[in-house]
Structure 1
Amino acid sequence: MEDMQLQSIKYWSEDDRPREKLANKGKTALSDAELLAILIRLGNKDESAVSLSKRILASVNGNLNELAKLSEDQLKKFKGVGLVKAITIIAALELGKRRQIEAKITLKKITSSRMVFEMMQPLIGELPHEEFWIIYLNNSNKVLKKLCLSKGGITGTLVDVRLVLKTALEVSAVAIILVHNHPSGTLKPSSADKAITKKLCSGAENIDIKVLDHLIITEKEYFSFADENLL
């Protein structure tokens, strides 16, 4: 059956064969389904790799961000998708996400809370658990380092102020931005959020490091302590 599948693709028009189409016309000429079909290579006895890819994408309304949320077990529910194909899809989407993140943080000058949100949302905006991150900046407000300080359950995280300040001194940062996500979707800062912000501001001030902002991030929105004059 697999041989029949390979043979059927072999005799398609060149424009309909994703790998050949990419080689001849470039990556931008391919649809999302065609790119996905290159990853999974083969479909099943009833449909081609492209048809299978279209069906997978249709299940998430063509949204690649939603596709990236599917687990290995969810992907394996599609006929023709086994362990190897599922892992290949997950790995490819994770690489794409990391590329997006790196492009946004490499010595990028931070000029607004919106820029911080766009940088960090792909990293923590869709997580089912809470994470607390520190962004370290130089005197031009360019990113020197990002540090995931803690990971926790939905109820909250533990923040080590000493580690925050130790790392700031190691990278010669003059300012920091605090960022954490709320998996619940609420943007309202909790009393704990306010307390840790105050504690970090106080500690950083003692070594001449400024806390520029604290962002709470959800999947689509954010709350900025600086924008709301809460620092």
Structure 2
Amino acid sequence: MQTFLDFKELLETNENIIVNELSLSYKRAIELNDHQFKMLNSSTKVSNLLREIWETNQIEVRESFYLLCFSSGLDLVGYQKISEGGLDAVIVDIRLLFSIALLSRATSIVVAHNHPSGTLKPSEADKILTQRIVQAGELLSVNVNDHIILTNTSYYSFRDEGLL
């Protein structure tokens, strides 16, 4: 949607100024009322949920990055694939990530990505990205509960391993 503003007096011209307008809405999905989306309070529960929503035929092919948004009771209020990458990297726009979290009224989030190589060890880039997300979350009062790395057969939890 665009809004046309007429500032003729201020600009002393006959031209209109066109600005972009952002419209946000919130609608709770009925599907998220299912029991599997409630009280997700462990890395095991979260990794099981991720396997339900992940494109499983892609887990060994390319990296993807997902966002899970939670209420204060750790009920899932939304999730979104943030980006897809190549064989060994994915780019994450933290502004997009938190715009989704804020729009879904999340009090906390879990981020997740996969390693097609099958290795569970987080890279230095994974650790740096996680810290940047945590810092941004602190500014916005959105807690980062965990960062999960998925492989075809297992998962790695930053929280369980003491990195969060």
TM range (shorter): 0.7 to 0.9
Task: Look up the match of 2:87.
Answer: 154
Determine if contact 1:144/1:171 at 8 Å carries over to the other structure. yes
Q: Percent identity?
A: 34
What residue number does 2:43 align with? 113
Q: How far is the alpha carbon of 1:165 from its aligned partner?
A: 1.1
Partner-residue secondary structure (3-state), 1:213: strand
Q: 2:134, 2:92 → 1: CA distance? A: 13
How far the C-alpha of 1:157 sits from its partner, in A, is 0.5
Classify 1:186/1:104 alpha carbon distance in 2 versus 1 (closer, same or farther; 3 Å): farther
The residue aligned with 2:128 is 195
Distance 1:226 1:141 in 2: 15
Q: Answer 1 or 2: higher relative contact order, Cα 8 Å, separation at least 6.
A: 2
Superimposed CA distance per residue, residues 81-117 of structure 1 (whole angstroms, 9 cap, x where no aligned partner) = xxxxxxxxxxxxxxxxxxxx98978642211000111
* Change in CA separation of 1:172 and 1:102 when aligned onto 2, cut-off 3 Å: closer
TM-score, length of structure 2 as denominator length = 0.74
Is 1:222 the counterpart of 2:155 in the alignment? yes
Among residues 158, 161, 169, which one is paired with 2:102 in the alignment?
Answer: 169
Q: Distance in 2 between matches of 1:220 and 1:104?
A: 25
Question: For 1:185 and 1:104, how far apart are their aligned partners in 2?
Answer: 31
Cα distance change, pair 153–104 in 1 and its aligned pair in 2 (3 A): farther
Change (3 A) 1:140 1:125: same
Distance 1:165 1:175 in 2: 10
**Residue type of the alignment partner of 2:142:** I
Which structure has the bigger radius of gyration? 1
- Flag structure 2 segments of 5+ consecutive residues without an equivalent: 1-30
Q: 1:137 to 1:203 in 2, by over 3 A?
A: same
| Matched-pair contact (CA < 8 Å) for 2:71–2:108 | yes
The residue identity in structure 1 corresponding to 2:94 is: V
Counterpart residue number, 1:53? none
Residue type of the partner of 2:77?
L
Give unmatched runs, 5+ long, in structure 1: 1-100
Figure out how many residues of one structure are paired with residues of the other and give that number. Answer: 131
Instruction: Name the SS of the counterpart of 1:199 in structure 2.
Output: helix
3-state secondary structure, aligned to 2:132: helix
Give 4+ residue runs of structure 1 displaced > 3 Å after superposition: 101-107
Letter in 1 for 2:150: I
Comparing both structures, which one devotes a greater share of its residues to helix? 1
SS in 1 for 2:140: coil
SS at match of 2:87: coil
What is the rounded CA distance, in whole Å, between the counterparts of 1:146 and 1:107 in structure 2?
Answer: 11
Alignment TM-score, normalising by the size of structure 1: 0.53
Q: How does 1:93-104 map to 2 (within 5 A)?
A: none
CA RMSD of aligned residues (A): 2.0
